[in-house]
Structure 1
Amino acid sequence: MATMIEHPGEQDFLHRLMLDNPWWDGVTDDQVQGLPQRAFFKRFWGAIEKNDGQKALVLTGPRGVGKTVMMRQAVAELLNADTPRRHVCYVSLEHPLFLEIDLPRLPKLLRSMRGISADHPLWLFIDEVSYQRDWEASLVKLLASDPMLRVVAVSALAPAGDNAEYIQSLFLPPFSFAEYLEQKGIAPSDVLPETPNVSRYTADVPDGLVELNDLFENYINEGGFHDANGEAGAIHRSLHSDLPGLHGISSPSDLHRLFALLAYNTGSEFSIETLARELDLAKNTLRRYLEYLESAWLVRRLERVDQDAKPFQRAVAFKVHLIHPGLRTGLIGGRASDSATITRLAETAIQTQFLTSAVGMESLYYARWGQYEVPFVFLDRRSGTPLFAYHCLWRDEAIRKPKEIRALVNFRGSHELPLGAFVLTKAQWHGGKLGGVPMRFEPASVLALRIGLEFSQL
């Protein structure tokens, strides 16, 4: 006898939504009650207030940085602003029940079941939207289904650039060093050492710098995520969930091997050819896996420029940084202790600070020519000229052994660099000329803190 197969119906969807939207019954959402807002919330809320229904607002970023919390805090703000409670709906597509639902039909279902007139705005907050196949196309159809709909979504994957007409994307970065300190109840200004007299070299370590360096080492090992052990959770949910398969990854084990190689060597230069040979993968497959890791906000590629700060006509090499250095600890389960590894993690941490600003994400490069390399070059978006450059170390010998930073000296001699050339040290400040060009030495922990503070205001 044939078995009758049943599927969830509209009443089942509504019952689940009632559980996920307690405010429909006048109950406060206790999931975010009392949780502090991230510094980025003002930018996110400003975009929500300007949402006129023409675009879906998509909050994207790494796992574990607080995207869902921020979305639910935005729901609370709407309700506090006297938005009718039944006009605000939260739905998570990570819940298996909602994988059955046709998103473009949801507004009609909500209006009919909640008694919302078609003349009134309906706010739809969609969590984990990337769990739906062709999720960007679904958002476009969803917008077209209801002219009074306001869509805010969270995605673990970055939207494609060709959907900018319908999707406004905001990137929620890992915690900056400054924000990490604030989350621990430490005011950044209280632990920022006073800049000493830098006109001459001194071996003295300024008061407070030892403490700040200890905090910085904690940050680069474990400090970028919302929850305890968030680094390991971010890796697990990005690589071991259904997401890779939903987005065309045929061999999760090869994806894991690639990520492990990149994470262990964060801050290193690679090429498609060397990676393909090392992992025994086809180049096109490797490119697709790299694109997924970038889309999932686990790694980020830096493009290369030459000594003249010009891109290469045929870009064969690139640098790869973890989106936050703590992911390396999450992968191997242990803290870095040797100077060389901490140097690379500190360099990755500097890159993370720039992620707090969209300007930083688009303008950061590295320079390499011959055997010379400058790890960070920041280009003006309009003119393409370099504004400043950094070389990162986790030791102080370079002040007395300038050969180690000859690339930065040569690069500074070829460019004005109006915002300066910096050698990032462990504990030393120094200013003056090196090789005839102005150069500044400054502790990496201090600069990381200053970048995070300055860019969080943009």
Structure 2
Amino acid sequence: MDNETLKLRPRAYLDPVRQLLLEPSLRRAVVLLGPRRVGKTILIRHLIADLLKSGVNAQRIVYVEMDHPLLHGQSLDSLIQQIETVAPDGEGARYLFFDEIQSHKDWEKHLKPLVDHRPDLRILVSGSAAAALKRQSTESGAGRFTDFLLPPLTFSEYLDLREEPAAIREEYHNRYVLDDITLLNEQFVDYVNYGGYPELALSAVVRSNPERFVKSDIVDKVLLRDLPQLYGIKDIQELNSLFTLLAFNTAEEVSFEQLSQRSGVGKQTIQKYIEYLEAAFLIQRVFRVDQDGRRYQRERNFKVYLTNSAMYTGLFGARKPDEAEFGHLVETALFAQRFHEGARLNYARWGSQDSEVDLVESSQFLKPTGALEIKWSDRYVDKPESLKGLMRFISKNRLPLAWASTRSRFGKKDVDGAEVRQWPAAVLAFHYGASAVRGRLADFDAQVSGFTG
């Protein structure tokens, strides 16, 4: 066991994953999903360390790194047979951990009989091409697999794992005490540039060369290996060029026509590649709605966000808070907190140039329930009515409350019966991130109760 790994504080999701693994009545394998380097392997190692501390015999624990070169070409069936000889039957549960399982074809078909016929086995598999894995586990293993998505670090997790001085703290549910906005903004700038990946956030060595960590260890492995293996992509350079273009334009509106002209790749191919990049959790599309919050029937434009703003640093270098690009990274970071909270997000644009809203949240019936305009500036605090698109949207949809981010100031104003609250982007990021973690844990408790009740 890697002692350096175990020195890292476990993420908040360790307890729910442990409960899924250890609960005998579930009779399901756990599928731990998420992008590369968000801490799936670290979480598995923490689980193994906990098992050993609780007295489980090490011979009853098997960890397999499935993308190891020595395992290429070996079937999962034969691997499991070898495991049987190394870890023979006996009293009590046995624990199998298969890391980066997507590198093996039809993994779910091989694991399904084990789940069905071996109640003594506790199985956890992990993989980076999250959407593809989720599709496979849902279609081929109905009732046999439980998916658990591990997202990049939220801002609140980042501060907790780094044990930063408490510039902000949650006094009780959704009530915060802000002690030092200057310090919090420094921490937020650091998070925007480096914070989504635990190793990049916590290791000075890794942070000294983020380009190597992000590009070589994350982007290249996904673009050059994972996606070509999963989807049979032949022209890897096309895929890489498109991703680089999308990453550089994170938080901006694009279209298939525009992307085709700028990349030289056909529109149909671009559409497929974007779906693949979403499956690997590198990007996320957000679709446009009109002033009533309705999707356009023939909409060609959409926004693309990196799922983790630290990817931008790895590709193009860190940005200072006064650089023009930093505003897009702030929007990317705030989007990521809300997206991982499970919010249904679109953006609104209609009519004139001033008629747009950065993020619109909708109910399950697609009715607008919230609006957020993202600024990295304090210039609108005293004149929120200058946020014309936001004002028009909340008036049209009769929203009682809307939000706008600032750089360092708070503001609140009633405009035509609606309350517009302006909070620093760092405070909003902390709030959204804390809510995302809390919501995920609450959803998990409800899910487990449903399984075991």
TM-score of the pair, normalised by structure 2 = 0.82
Q: Return 54-63 or 216-225, whichever deviates more.
A: 54-63
- CA apart distance, 1:431: 0.8
Q: Return 290-299 or 235-244, whichever deviates more.
A: 235-244
Distance 1:365 1:335 in 2: 26
Deviations 1:53-92 (A, max 9, x none): 7543221222222110001111222333344432221000
Structure 1 residues 288 and 149, CA gap change in structure 2 (3 angstroms) = farther
Where does the alignment leave 5 or more consecutive residues of structure 2 unmatched?
172-177, 201-205, 440-453
Structure 2 equivalent of residue 349 of structure 1: 333
Distance 1:447 1:128 in 2: 34
Q: Is the 8 A contact 2:59 2:87 kept in 1?
A: yes
Q: Is the 8 A contact 1:103 1:142 kept in 2?
A: no
Deviations 1:217-250 (A, max 9, x none): 1111111111134754233234323223212222
Structure 1 equivalent of residue 6 of structure 2: 33
Structure 1 equivalent of residue 95 of structure 2: 123
Distance 2:101 2:181 in 1: 44
Instruction: Report the 3-state secondary structure (helix = DSSP H, G, I; strand = E; otherwise coil) of the residue aligned with 1:424.
Output: strand
User: Is 1:152 aligned to residue 134 of structure 2?
Assistant: no
Where does the alignment leave 5 or more consecutive residues of structure 1 unmatched?
1-27, 195-205
- CA apart distance, 1:259: 1.4
Q: Is the 8 A contact 2:194 2:310 kept in 1?
A: yes
Structure 1 residues 105 and 31, CA gap change in structure 2 (3 angstroms) = farther
Structure 1 equivalent of residue 437 of structure 2: 456
Distance 1:315 1:152 in 2: 41
Structure 2 equivalent of residue 261 of structure 1: 245
RMSD (Å), alpha carbons? 2.7
Instruction: Report the 3-state secondary structure (helix = DSSP H, G, I; strand = E; otherwise coil) of the residue aligned with 2:319.
Output: coil
Structure 1 residues 273 and 149, CA gap change in structure 2 (3 angstroms) = farther
Structure 2 equivalent of residue 104 of structure 1: 77
User: Is 1:398 aligned to residue 372 of structure 2?
Assistant: no
Aligned match of 1:240 in 220, 238, 241?
A: 220
Letter in 2 for 1:427: S
Letter in 2 for 1:395: S
Aligned match of 1:318 in 302, 307, 331?
A: 302
- CA apart distance, 1:321: 0.7
Structure 1 residues 237 and 296, CA gap change in structure 2 (3 angstroms) = farther
- CA apart distance, 1:264: 1.1
Deviations 1:312-338 (A, max 9, x none): 334432211111112111101232444
Instruction: Report the 3-state secondary structure (helix = DSSP H, G, I; strand = E; otherwise coil) of the residue aligned with 1:320.
Output: strand
Higher Cα radius of gyration: 1
Letter in 2 for 1:276: S
Q: Is the 8 A contact 2:242 2:263 kept in 1?
A: yes
Structure 2 equivalent of residue 379 of structure 1: 362
User: Is 1:279 aligned to residue 263 of structure 2?
Assistant: yes
Structure 1 residues 342 and 133, CA gap change in structure 2 (3 angstroms) = same
Instruction: Report the 3-state secondary structure (helix = DSSP H, G, I; strand = E; otherwise coil) of the residue aligned with 2:273.
Output: helix
Correspondence 1:8-407 to 2 at 5 A = 30=3, 32-50=5-23, 54-117=27-90, 121-140=93-112, 143=115, 146=118, 148-158=120-130, 159-161=133-135, 163-164=137-138, 165=142, 166-188=144-166, 190-191=167-168, 208-228=180-200, 229=206, 232=211, 233-241=213-221, 242-247=225-230, 248-338=232-322, 340-357=324-341, 359-360=342-343, 363-371=344-352, 372-381=355-364, 383-400=365-382, 402=384, 404-407=386-389
Q: Is the 8 A contact 1:127 1:153 kept in 2?
A: yes
Distance 1:436 1:109 in 2: 69
Structure 2 equivalent of residue 423 of structure 1: 404
Instruction: Report the 3-state secondary structure (helix = DSSP H, G, I; strand = E; otherwise coil) of the residue aligned with 2:300.
Output: coil
Instruction: Report the 3-state secondary structure (helix = DSSP H, G, I; strand = E; otherwise coil) of the residue aligned with 1:287.
Output: helix
- CA apart distance, 1:140: 4.2
Structure 1 equivalent of residue 424 of structure 2: 443
Letter in 1 for 2:288: R
Deviations 1:154-196 (A, max 9, x none): 11111243632243222211111111112222254x43599xx
Letter in 2 for 1:347: E
Structure 1 equivalent of residue 442 of structure 2: none
Letter in 1 for 2:145: I
Letter in 2 for 1:390: L
Structure 1 residues 151 and 39, CA gap change in structure 2 (3 angstroms) = same
Distance 2:11 2:259 in 1: 37
Structure 1 residues 217 and 80, CA gap change in structure 2 (3 angstroms) = same
Structure 1 equivalent of residue 392 of structure 2: 410
- CA apart distance, 1:437: 3.0
Q: Is the 8 A contact 1:396 1:427 kept in 2?
A: yes
Q: Percent identity among equivalent residues?
A: 31
Structure 1 residues 210 and 312, CA gap change in structure 2 (3 angstroms) = same
Structure 2 equivalent of residue 198 of structure 1: none
Distance 2:227 2:43 in 1: 25
Aligned residue pairs total 413
Structure 1 equivalent of residue 449 of structure 2: none
Structure 1 residues 106 and 324, CA gap change in structure 2 (3 angstroms) = same
Distance 1:256 1:99 in 2: 24
Structure 1 residues 49 and 121, CA gap change in structure 2 (3 angstroms) = closer
Distance 2:195 2:29 in 1: 31
Distance 1:315 1:160 in 2: 28
